[in-house]
Chains A and B, each alone.
Chain A
Amino acid sequence: MSEIEYHAVAKTNEIMEEDVKGVFVGDEEIAVYNVEGEYFATHGVCTHENVGLADGFVEGDLIECPLHSACFEIKTGKAVNPPAEIDLKTYPVKVEGDTIYVGIEK
């Protein structure tokens, strides 16, 4: 089992409800979401083509890719709408005070 290391990526007030912010942890591009006050994180690049999901559109608990309209479940990373067929990687998230932390395998 690899160890998870948490990294501070954003303040809670930087991501409104039904919104997304793109962050980097090292070279890893990550999209952090606010779904009804709860924060989630997925890999930040659409699995269909190399497009940042931070420019995408959050609706409910779905993120829609800005380029081809592929949709993923934010909480599970599941690809729910073509053209994407591969699920997004998800990351554990914790909030301490007003800081959002994303857990990355060491």
Chain B
Amino acid sequence: MSDDRTFVIIGASQAGGWVAQTLRNEGFEGKVILIGEEPYLPYERPPLSKAALLGEVTVDSTYFWQADALKEADIEVRLNTRVTAIDRDAKEIETDGGERITYDKLAITTGARVRKLPIEGADLPGVFYLRTMEDTLAIREAVKDGTTAMIVGGGWIGLECAATLTKLGCKSIVVEAADRLCGRAVTPEISDWMLNFHTGHDVDVRLSTGIEKFEGDGKLERAVLPGGDSIDCSIAVVGIGVIPNVELAQDAGLDIDNGIVVDERACTSDPVIVAAGDVTNHPNDLLGRRIRLESYENAQNQGITAGKAMLGTAEPYSEIPWFWSDQFDANLQMIGLPQDWDETATRGDVAANEFVTFYLKDGVIDGAISVNNPRDLRVGKRLMQGKKPVSAAELEDPETKMQALLKR
């Protein structure tokens, strides 16, 4: 081996896996060590609330790279291993097994963990969270046809989970503290659509409420609502957001501000440490502000940027945020993080569950959300990227060819 450097990656996640893979794709010949707490190789999280929960896919099929591919790339993967400290002066990390590993460069891709529900009974068996493969396997194991499932949180995870559990024969009840669904991510009109859509699929959605406490004799038996009403249920899934895993970086003295602070090349305040994925607070030039994203695309592409940054070849990373969600037979996709807009334009048929709503600011697209219409959304993304002037009227006109707008 012509290169005697060691690059260490903390977090065998989607982002961490892409850092490792990128190092090899870019020709790095030194040692690559990828360390993960979980017993699994880097896997796709989107199926956890969908195909994997339905039991349609195996654990192996969610791996980004199979074991032999990682071996062939000479990536040393250490699973079931937690890093307990980063010693920046010595350029060493310490693992829970007491091992110290010296690094020349380090990547932190520790992701995020679920926010816990701070109520009585939340630790009863039968109360689940959904973030990891273990969570999904445990929920699957507990689900029985006809079970009442209490879903706490009407955000993306809660709604996907409600849809999947309903498909599995459960009676799904969603409780959401806010007065509308997915309130942090979508507009009131889309929240209304979601409510109708889920209600139409026999999901019992209860807004502006929460769970007072869970009760049961050794396991979950019922949820008590404010006011004293109770609902019998044998499982509950809590999806009330995640917290970035910044502690290692924080203890090592790196800059932290709602995530590990990195620049447009995924570099932290330490020149030999990069970070990528859900854990980073990064600048986004296209939006003109700093953001922390919990998204598939960011984990992948910022991971690739971080890998290149370790080799000194990274270009600035800035993309329009893009998310998707699958709920029953609806594929939702979202671009941008629109905050304030002048007008909206809806193209397609909302009642038929096939449409896209664009958010316009100063005559250009500032974001969009689509339901069963990924193609128009794609074109919208390119229009947004190119800051192409468009009018609400032409976007709404079914006669308008979206592709044609790109070519003006």
Are the C-beta atoms of B378 and A82 separated by less than 8 Å? no
With an 8 Å Cβ cutoff, the count of chain B residues facing the other chain is: 15
- Please, which residue of chain B has its CB at the minimum distance from the CB of A68? B296
B358-390 vs A, Cβ < 8 Å mask (1 yes, 0 no): 000000000000000011001100100000000
Are the C-beta atoms of A67 and B324 separated by less than 8 Å? yes
> Cβ of A73 < 8 Å from any Cβ of B?
no
Expressed in whole angstroms, the Cα–Cα distance for A66 and B304 within the complex equals 21
Are the C-beta atoms of A69 and B382 separated by less than 8 Å? no
Expressed in whole angstroms, the Cα–Cα distance for A56 and B322 within the complex equals 15
The A60-101 residues at the B interface (CB cut-off 8 A) are: 64, 66-69, 82-83
Are the C-beta atoms of A82 and B18 separated by less than 8 Å? yes
Are the C-beta atoms of B403 and A82 separated by less than 8 Å? no
> Across the interface, which residues of A come within 8 angstroms of B172, CB to CB?
none
> Across the interface, which residues of B come within 8 angstroms of A29, CB to CB?
none
Q: With contacts A55-B374, A66-B374 known, is A18 near B403, CB below 8 A?
A: yes
> Across the interface, which residues of B come within 8 angstroms of A59, CB to CB?
382
Q: With contacts A55-B374, A57-B375 known, is A82 near B300, CB below 8 A?
A: yes
Q: What's the least CB distance linking B111 to chain A, in Å?
A: 17
Are the C-beta atoms of A69 and B379 separated by less than 8 Å? no
Are the C-beta atoms of A82 and B304 separated by less than 8 Å? yes
By size class, the interface of chain A is 10 to 19
B317-331 vs A, Cβ < 8 Å mask (1 yes, 0 no): 000001010000001
Expressed in whole angstroms, the Cα–Cα distance for A57 and B374 within the complex equals 9
Are the C-beta atoms of B300 and A83 separated by less than 8 Å? yes
Expressed in whole angstroms, the Cα–Cα distance for A69 and B304 within the complex equals 15
> Across the interface, which residues of B come within 8 angstroms of A66, CB to CB?
331, 374-375, 378
Are the C-beta atoms of B375 and A69 separated by less than 8 Å? no
Expressed in whole angstroms, the Cα–Cα distance for A67 and B332 within the complex equals 10
Is chain A's binding surface mostly helix, strand, loop or mixed?
Answer: loop
> Cβ of B64 < 8 Å from any Cβ of A?
yes
> Across the interface, which residues of A come within 8 angstroms of B204, CB to CB?
none
Are the C-beta atoms of A57 and B378 separated by less than 8 Å? yes
A2-32 vs B, Cβ < 8 Å mask (1 yes, 0 no): 0000000000000000110000000000000
- Please, which residue of chain B has its CB at the minimum distance from the CB of A18? B403
Expressed in whole angstroms, the Cα–Cα distance for A5 and B403 within the complex equals 34
Are the C-beta atoms of B322 and A69 separated by less than 8 Å? yes
Expressed in whole angstroms, the Cα–Cα distance for A67 and B372 within the complex equals 11
Are the C-beta atoms of A57 and B379 separated by less than 8 Å? yes
Are the C-beta atoms of B378 and A64 separated by less than 8 Å? yes
> Cβ of B264 < 8 Å from any Cβ of A?
no
Q: What's the least CB distance linking A16 to chain B, in Å?
A: 8
Q: What's the least CB distance linking B54 to chain A, in Å?
A: 14
Q: What's the least CB distance linking A49 to chain B, in Å?
A: 8
Q: What's the least CB distance linking B156 to chain A, in Å?
A: 16
> Across the interface, which residues of A come within 8 angstroms of B382, CB to CB?
59
Q: What's the least CB distance linking A31 to chain B, in Å?
A: 13
> Cβ of B297 < 8 Å from any Cβ of A?
yes
- Please, which residue of chain A has its CB at the minimum distance from the CB of B372? A55
Expressed in whole angstroms, the Cα–Cα distance for A82 and B374 within the complex equals 18
Expressed in whole angstroms, the Cα–Cα distance for A8 and B338 within the complex equals 46
> Across the interface, which residues of B come within 8 angstroms of A57, CB to CB?
374-375, 378-379
Q: What's the least CB distance linking B60 to chain A, in Å?
A: 14
Contact surface of A with B, Cβ cutoff 8 Å: 18-19, 55-57, 59, 64, 66-69, 82-83
Report 22 cross-chain contacts, Cβ distance below 8 Å, ordered by A residue: A18-B403, A19-B403, A55-B375, A56-B375, A57-B374, A57-B375, A57-B378, A57-B379, A59-B382, A64-B378, A66-B331, A66-B374, A66-B378, A67-B324, A67-B331, A67-B374, A68-B296, A68-B297, A82-B18, A82-B300, A82-B304, A83-B64
Q: 10 closest Cβ contacts across the A-B interface? A: A66-B374, A57-B378, A57-B375, A18-B403, A82-B300, A55-B374, A83-B300, A55-B375, A69-B297, A64-B378
